[in-house]
Amino acid sequence: MDSLLITGGTPLNGTVKVSGAKNAALPILLGAILFDKKVIFENVPHLRDIHTTKNLLETLGFETNFENGCMEVCQKNTISSEAPYDLVKTMRASVLCLGPLLARLGEANVAMPGGCAIGTRPVDLHLSALEKMGAKFSLDNGYIKGRCQKLHGAHIQFDFPTVGGTENIMMAASLADGETILENAAREPEIVDLANFLNSCGAKISGAGESQIKIQGVTRLEQKNPYKIMPDRIEAGTYLIAAAMTNGEVRVKDCPYHDMEALFDKLRACNVILEIEGDSVIAKKHQELNAVDIRTLPHPGFPTDMQAQFMAMLSICKGSGIVEETIFENRFMHVPELKRMGADIRVTGNSAMVRGIPSLTGAPVMASDLRAGAALVLAGLCAEGETRVDRIYHVDRGYEGMELKLQSLGAKIKRIKGE
Ligand code: EPZ
């Protein structure tokens, strides 16, 4: 398993370009299951999770070709309905093939995704919504087995605005009979990107990005032009914080700042200057960083995927800040690792009190999940001395060439190949 070796203390300066959004690409690529002809995607990031999705599509009977950010997906022969455990266990987003398989085949056999480091992450809301559309499910040997004659429209109310649940239903309803209305839908920008892709191929989806989404089923989808994946707002936010923490000045190119208001409000409250220039945002700090409180919420609230990175910054801010995690039940795995670097953090339930200290000190630490790993890299960039972040495969799941992008900004960081 690879590690990243970081010598802290160098201010980051220069320009970094944001890659395509992992959390838009994953549902959109699995949406290719809805098509009986080739679909082409551009700006697809080279990430572990994308390669896992490519493998899953091939396992299901699709031919794929992925180079230079362009992914082609084409049904090769009869589609298999089985998403095997060895793939699903490495990427729970594989459950997003459930809706498309039921819509195309009338059946799906998807391994239960299981929990992960940040929580149990059930899929009960996905299943109950699909049952309202006519699907029947059973659980056999760790597999979700779904069957239906032909999915039909339904009026669905989500107990929680689940991102994956919203995406699964939007895809399933695109080819169902009649109209589906989704209430309390997730409003994340990646939902809008998925709807834009499907609508560009003939789907009839309205209201994406709002709490109510209406989908009028159609008989067939066909792509007219290649679809370009939106830029990654979480990757962008991570590099904005890197600039502030290292006292540098970084231009983040292709930054989807319209989708980042909650994060920008909190960064500015911490004394981070954010200047918008065209499709770029320039981040720098103009005086000492000040601590603020944050509370993660469904979009457009503060994104849970930025919580760990923001906490790393709070650990060197003047004053104290409270971090409240309301989305996942166990998303503080980065806390003990940050404390190894000297951070003063006290966790009570889903809340963490962070008291800023003048500087972190480098140490060997371990990534436990994607965003925790990113937070530890940020901490290493500004810590005194050397930090080694182990199990960096977590970071490789969601950050395209992170060490290369950071090196281009002047960071002293290199990858140590594991055995
Ligand atoms: C998506 O996960 C993202 N992943 C996550 O990003 C992100 O943190 C999350 O949305 C919230 O924004 C992808 O898009 C691939 P949810 P998802 O369904 O769809 C509970 C990253 O770092 N829930 O909105 O799994 C669930 O347990 C990853 O890039 C149910 O109870 O998120 C969780 O507590 C991490 N039952 C909460 O809702 C369900 O049926 C949010 O889950 C579904 C969800």
Indicate which residue's Cα is closest to atom 1 of ligand 1.
163
Q: What is the CA radius of gyration of the chain?
A: 21
Q: What is the mean pLDDT of the chain?
A: 96
Helix axes 233-245, 307-314, angle to 10 degrees: 10
> Given the CA of residue 304, which atom of ligand 1 is nearest to it?
8
Q: How far is the CA of 374 from the centre of ligand 1 (A)?
A: 18
What would the two tokens of residue 159 be? 């107990």
Eight-state DSSP code of residue 202: T
Q: What is the pLDDT of residue 113?
A: 80
pLDDT at 121: 75
Better-predicted residue by pLDDT, 121 or 269: 269
Is 116 annotated in the active site? yes
pLDDT of residue 116: 72
* Ligand 1 centroid, distance to 372 Cα (angstroms): 16
Q: Point out the ligand 1 atom lying closest to the alpha carbon of residue 369.
A: 22
The Å distance, Cα 134 to ligand 1 centre, comes to 24
Probe target for ligand 1 pocket from 53, 159, 162, with the most ligand atoms within 8 Å of CB? 162
The pLDDT-based confidence of 120 (bands split at 50, 70, 90) is confident
Q: Whose CA is nearest to atom 3 of ligand 1?
A: 23
Q: pLDDT above 90 covers what percent of the chain?
A: 93
**Ligand 1 atom closest to Cα of residue 127:** 40
Residues 184-226 pLDDT 10s: 999 999 999 999 999 999 999 999 999 999 999 999 999 999 9
Residue 77 has pLDDT above 90, yes or no: no
Q: How far is the CA of 96 from the centre of ligand 1 (A)?
A: 11
SS3 226: coil
Distance of alpha carbon 378 from alpha carbon 6, whole angstroms: 10
Res 122: pLDDT: 86
Q: Are 245 and 57 in contact (CB under 8 A)?
A: no
Site to substitute for ligand 1 among 19, 23, 159, 402, most atoms within 8 A of C-beta: 23
CA distances from 220 to 7, 37, 134, 231 (A): 54, 10, 19, 28
Gap between the Cα atoms of 33 and 195, Å rounded: 15
Per-residue pLDDT reduced to its tens digit, 39-67: 999 999 999 999 999 999 999 999 999 99
Q: How confident is the model at residue 115 (pLDDT cuts 50, 70, 90)?
A: low
For atom 27 of ligand 1, the residue with the nearest CA is 121
Closest ligand 1 atom, residue 298 Cα: 12
List, for residues 331-371, the tens digit of each pLDDT value: 999 999 999 999 999 999 999 999 999 999 999 999 999 99
Q: Which residue's C-alpha comes closest to atom 17 of ligand 1?
A: 164
Which stretches does DSSP call E strand in 19-154? 39-42, 62-67, 70-75, 82-83, 107-111, 136-140, 143-147
The ligand 1 site (C-beta within 6 Å) comprises 22-23, 26, 93, 119, 121-126, 160, 162-165, 186, 304-305, 327-328, 370-371, 398
Nearest CA to ligand 1 atom 19: 164
Name residue 239's amino acid.
Answer: Y
How far CA 112 is from CA of 61, 94, 174, 359, 417, in Å, comes to 20, 10, 24, 43, 32
The whole-number pLDDT of residue 287 equals 81
**Per-residue model confidence as pLDDT tens digits over 284-338:** 986 899 999 999 999 999 999 999 999 999 999 999 999 999 999 989 999 999 9
pTM value is 0.97
Contact by Cβ (8 Å): 364, 388: yes
Q: Which residue(s) pair with 280 in the sheet? A: 277
Q: How far is CA 387 from CA 239, 272, 333, 337, 392, in A?
A: 18, 25, 18, 11, 13
Count CB neighbours of 20 within 10 A: 26
Among protein residues, the one with the nearest Cα to ligand 1's atom 21 is 305
The atom of ligand 1 lying closest to the CA of 167 is: 19
**Of the listed 70, 74, 116, 255, which one is catalytic?**
116
